[in-house]
Chains A and B, each alone.
Chain A
Amino acid sequence: MSTRAVEQWTLEPLVKFVKEAGARLVLVMTSAGQVLAQHGFSRAMDVMSAAALGAAIMASTDEIARQLQQPPFAALNHQGDKHGIFLAGVKTGRGRLIALVAYDLDASSLGLVQLFFEQLAADLQAASPKDSVPKQVLAADFERELSDSLNTLFGR
């Protein structure tokens, strides 16, 4: 089981959630698909691709909701024979983030993931920095910050 985090405040809630819900992997990312943290078994999955695709799914459904003149959908669940993927938005001090949860049907269920996800959302909201103002991205800092984030996520 591996843990990586660009934003350290996300870690404790993620570790607790994976343990309680019996999830295989949880990713927390921005709505643009940038991974902020991950915890669980990630070897079978290309985390960056999963995050990008998850963010794209959320963006698509947000747009459908907008066209229906409805607020964004709270959560989405995709279930296969052996695995499920649960995607949901989380309000935090860092703005709206997306959580992607991968779970095995042998070890968990949609009900368990939904149940403990409520607590995860509350924990992330409580743990997130409240007074943070989105930083202005300067070209000079961008490459260094990107490199730091990738090093953290890939454990280099």
Chain B
Amino acid sequence: MTATAGYGQALDLITRVGGVRGAMLVSAEDGIVVAEQLMEGIKGSAVAALAASLATRLRRAMEAAGVGASLFWHLQAEGGALLVVPTPNGILVVAVAEPDVNVGLVRLELLRAAEVVG
């Protein structure tokens, strides 16, 4: 299986969950999209750039707090949610979801996808 096909399967795991509007693999260092499966209307490049920027700042905050690397983060907004799992090889697995999505299930699938990618 090629890396690209593997990435597609990793994203499939996430987008199958009800309430997920899209899933992406993002280069944490560059903030650019590696692979994506998004519903129409979501600007992937913007989500990727801002998620990577946030991930960098969060990593520094976690290190400063002495609690180690972040394993999962969830940002809840009025109109939706952003859920992210960083992988050891510098890829962020990102899900954009409805506000009432089953966070536990999405987290599980993000972690599975991270294993495939990482």
Contact of B49 with A114 in the complex, beta carbons under 8 Å: yes
Q: In the docked arrangement, what's the CA distance between A79 and B26, Å?
A: 18
Query: Closest B-chain residue to A109, C-beta based?
Result: B31
Question: Using Cβ atoms and an 8 Å threshold, which residues of chain B touch A110?
Answer: 30-32
Which secondary structure characterizes the binding site on chain B?
Answer: helix
Tally A residues with Cβ within 8 Å of B. 10
Q: In the docked arrangement, what's the CA distance between A112 and B53, Å?
A: 8
A91 to chain B, nearest CB (A): 20
A133 to chain B, nearest CB (A): 36
Contact of B29 with A115 in the complex, beta carbons under 8 Å: no
Q: In the docked arrangement, what's the CA distance between A30 and B100, Å?
A: 51
**B114 within 8 A of partner (CB):** no
Q: In the docked arrangement, what's the CA distance between A105 and B52, Å?
A: 12
Q: In the docked arrangement, what's the CA distance between A19 and B64, Å?
A: 25
Question: Using Cβ atoms and an 8 Å threshold, which residues of chain B touch A111?
Answer: 26-27, 30-32, 45, 48-49, 52-53
Q: In the docked arrangement, what's the CA distance between A22 and B53, Å?
A: 10
0/1 per residue, A91-109, Cβ < 8 Å to B? 0000000000000010011
Query: Closest B-chain residue to A105, C-beta based?
Result: B29
Residues of B within 8 A of A (CB): 26-27, 29-32, 45-46, 48-50, 52-53, 56
Residues of A within 8 A of B (CB): 22, 79, 105, 108-112, 114-115
Besides the known contacts A110-B31, A115-B46, 4 further A-B residue pairs in the complex with CB atoms under 8 A apart = A112-B31, A114-B49, A115-B45, A115-B49
